[in-house]
Chains A and B, each alone.
Chain A
Amino acid sequence: MSIVIADEPRVAAPPPPEPVVPRRNYLNTEYGVLSWLLTVDHKRIGILYLVSISAFFVVGGIAAGLVRLNLLSPTGAILTEDQYNRMFTAHGVVMLFLFLIPSIPAVFGNFFVPMMIGAKDLAFPKLNLASWYVFMIGAGFAVYAVLVGGIDTGWTLYPPYSSRSHTNVTPGVFGVFITGFSSIMTGLNIMVTIHKMRCPGMTWGRLPLFIWAMYATSFIQLLGTPVVAITLLLLLAERVGGVGIFDPAIGGDPVLYQHMFWFYSHPAVYIMIVPGMGVVSEILTCFSRKNIFGYKAIAWSSVGIAVVGFLVWAHHMYVAGIAYYSALLFSFLTMLVAVPSAIKVFNWLATLFRGSITFHAPMLYTLAFLVLFTVGGVTGLFLATLGTDIHLHDTYFVVAHFHFVMVGGMVLAYMAALHYWWPKMTGRMYSDFWSRASATIIFVGFFFTFVPQFVLGYHGMPRRYPNYPQEFQIYNVLSTAGASILGFGYLLPGIYLPLSLFFGVKSPANPWSATGLEWQCPSPPTTFNFDFVPVVVCGPYEYAIGVDQLGRGLPDPPGPGDAASPYRPVGPAGPIHKETEVVG
């Protein structure tokens, strides 16, 4: 059954008056470096993480750029083979452990989980600050290792090579080991907060989907990370002590390392993507002006991904010498994990269907996520299938698949989250034109970079090789050209977002007319988020009847022509209507 509610004006409840902008917010309550370094405010810690991982993103991006530049020529354009090995390892280690894993959980999870569930702070504020310090110490070791001397094993650090390589493996492994603790601390904090600190009325069925996604992510962080910690510790013991349990010389089994490593590192890709899915669920429904389709399905599919994601790791090892029977088993289980991901994509599409969609920067990034993640997910099935994987294993097909999911999926979701919540975090609006331009440029550049890699991989170009036959050059040149577009696209937010801090228009409390609790605080929020105890009366996405979670009406959404507010984009069509469909 479906009811179309389409009328105007149709106000279920009056929108709340614009909250008085408090003189003191979390940003100006204290000044000075120490007030940041010793803060226990979850919002400030989120900002600390934002700044640090942005720096690591630049480092990893430069390494990626050098790798791509080197691949312009079949014999290696600018780097020696050794330098090339070090460079792709630097790219992998920095991007995965220092950017992707902490990206959304540590920045937006820290910042918005307490606000979205109506809490004053995370459950353990000091632990939260400690997690940032631990992260920075670990990151210091890892960045030192990959930049000074370098590591040439690839980010997977497989023994026996990694225990014998004459490069800087020891500090690198140690750094990754330490950052793991920071990840556990963040996950534990968020998980306890969600369990214990929800405000009155915030039942599990009323949690925003971002919270469900963060819950699933924290679950993986808690259960997966310790296993990779012990694995890396054993690797360190082997490397430093000269004898260890993965050492084939004394009867050890290097494939066991791969089992233990991927027991974490495969679920780790869900640590990276599931928060992105949560962000997408928030943004899609807001910019479609429709209730989310299939709330329970999306919520439980997050948990489903978290659980099933633990059952699939050995698809990385089909050709590593594992048993045929277990390869078959893992192939089957890997197919299973596609189911919850697909459930999400279908529900998002159904949410978009007949919505009043506006294309602001967060939505553009989100739509790009949808396209790229779907391509990445479907090509993942080729790799999950035992037969085709033997052909595609360790080729650029894998590289392209992984980057579609991680860059096309996760990084775009991260950008979407950044653009969606930036007005709340900073109280300033960024340039509408430039943000839309950067979303478009990134999307185009991304396709140019990674579609040729599918072709390359299918024709058999192995990954991590600096040299290749002449006939592959055209694809590599295409890919590198795309990478430069992509790099330019990433550069733009690096310019207009900081500029918006100084020149941006002040943002109202709820610039996107969204329903979540975080929009009920002023922008930027005060130190304790809420001046009152919020009491939640309805679900998180009541766009159909136009009320927020406190049961109050929504301000007008930003349409492509609301000239009354200068920070809103101006377009020809006039303000959009709250046309909404309730299905079910």
Chain B
Amino acid sequence: MTTDTHKPDDPPTMHDVDKVGSLFVVYFVVLGLAVANILLAEFGHLGNLSLPVQLGIGTVQACLVAWYWMHMRRGDKVVTLTAVTALFFIFIFYVLVLADILTRWRAAI
């Protein structure tokens, strides 16, 4: 199949060519989020909220990059499965290590 005959209503395939406009939209959003992240950290005085906010912004950026630029939106199911599995095992890693760290008795240090 060639990209020329591909109609916009068809489900996305791997061979779609990205539109330059959409690539630049993603670019400016990701860049803007990065700037916002730095400005918020320097002048936002978010206190305890700052870490979740920073990581939240990072996650949004990462999702945008993965979804649009890494073409996850039109990839195989097994690609999505791979990505989700990796994140799930990081989750396990975090939860079980923190289960120890946060309940451990530590002398005053």
A and B associate: yes
Flag whether A227 is at the interface (Cβ < 8 A): yes
Choose, from B26-34, B56-64, B91-99, the stretch at the interface: B91-99
Given contacts A251-B109, A323-B99, contact A263 B93 (CB under 8 A): yes
A residues 217-261 in Cβ contact with B at 8 Å: 223, 227, 251, 255-256, 259
- Asked whether A310 lies within 8 Å of B103 as measured between CB atoms, the reply is no
How many residue pairs at the A-B interface have CB separations less than 8 Å?
A: 41
Q: What residues on A are CB-neighbors of B104 within 8 Å?
A: 321-323, 326
* CB 8 Å contact bits of B69-109 with A (1 = contact, 0 = none): 00000000010000001100100110011011111110001
Given contacts A195-B78, A223-B86, A251-B109, contact A311 B92 (CB under 8 A): yes
- B102 CB, min distance to chain A CBs, angstroms: 8
- Asked whether B89 lies within 8 Å of A223 as measured between CB atoms, the reply is yes
- Asked whether B85 lies within 8 Å of A326 as measured between CB atoms, the reply is no
Interface centre among B85, B89, B105 (most CB of A within 10 A): B89
Given contacts A223-B86, A223-B89, contact A325 B109 (CB under 8 A): no
- Asked whether B103 lies within 8 Å of A227 as measured between CB atoms, the reply is no
Number of B interface residues at 8 Å Cβ cutoff, please give it: 16
CA distance A311 to B95 in the complex (A): 10
Q: What residues on B are CB-neighbors of A227 within 8 Å?
A: 93
Interface of A is mostly: helix
- Asked whether B93 lies within 8 Å of A323 as measured between CB atoms, the reply is no
Q: What residues on A are CB-neighbors of B102 within 8 Å?
A: 323
- Asked whether A310 lies within 8 Å of B92 as measured between CB atoms, the reply is yes
Partner of B99, one of A195, A255, A256, A325: A325
Given contacts A223-B86, A251-B109, contact A329 B99 (CB under 8 A): yes
Given contacts A195-B78, A251-B109, contact A326 B89 (CB under 8 A): no
- A229 CB, min distance to chain B CBs, angstroms: 14
- Asked whether A259 lies within 8 Å of B78 as measured between CB atoms, the reply is no
Partner of A323, one of B78, B89, B105: B105
Given contacts A223-B89, A310-B89, A311-B92, contact A322 B78 (CB under 8 A): no
- Asked whether B89 lies within 8 Å of A325 as measured between CB atoms, the reply is no
CA distance A326 to B95 in the complex (A): 11
Interface centre among A195, A311, A322, A326 (most CB of B within 10 A): A326
CA distance A325 to B102 in the complex (A): 10
Flag whether A314 is at the interface (Cβ < 8 A): yes
- Asked whether A325 lies within 8 Å of B103 as measured between CB atoms, the reply is yes
- Asked whether B96 lies within 8 Å of A314 as measured between CB atoms, the reply is yes
Q: What residues on B are CB-neighbors of A322 within 8 Å?
A: 100, 104
Q: Can you name the residue of chain A whose Cβ is closest to the Cβ of B105? A: A323
Partner of A223, one of B85, B96, B100, B105: B85
- B96 CB, min distance to chain A CBs, angstroms: 7
CA distance A391 to B97 in the complex (A): 24
- B105 CB, min distance to chain A CBs, angstroms: 7
- Asked whether B78 lies within 8 Å of A326 as measured between CB atoms, the reply is no
CA distance A321 to B100 in the complex (A): 10
Q: What residues on B are CB-neighbors of A310 within 8 Å?
A: 89, 92
CA distance A263 to B97 in the complex (A): 9
- Asked whether B96 lies within 8 Å of A326 as measured between CB atoms, the reply is yes
Interface centre among B89, B100, B101 (most CB of A within 10 A): B100
CA distance A256 to B86 in the complex (A): 21
CA distance A321 to B101 in the complex (A): 10
A residues 475-517 in Cβ contact with B at 8 Å: none
- B90 CB, min distance to chain A CBs, angstroms: 9
CA distance A227 to B92 in the complex (A): 13
CA distance A313 to B85 in the complex (A): 19
Q: Can you name the residue of chain A whose Cβ is closest to the Cβ of B99? A: A326
Task: List residues of A whose CB falls within 8 A of some B CB.
Answer: 195, 223, 227, 251, 255-256, 259, 263, 310-311, 313-314, 321-326, 329-330
8 pairs from A and B in contact (CB 8 Å cutoff): A223-B85, A227-B93, A263-B97, A311-B96, A322-B104, A323-B104, A325-B103, A326-B100
Apart from A311-B96, A323-B102, A326-B104, list 4 A-B contacts with CB within 8 A.
A259-B100, A313-B96, A314-B96, A323-B105
Task: List residues of B whose CB falls within 8 A of some A CB.
Answer: 78, 85-86, 89, 92-93, 96-97, 99-105, 109
Closest 7 CB pairs of A and B: A326-B100, A323-B103, A323-B104, A325-B103, A326-B99, A322-B100, A223-B89
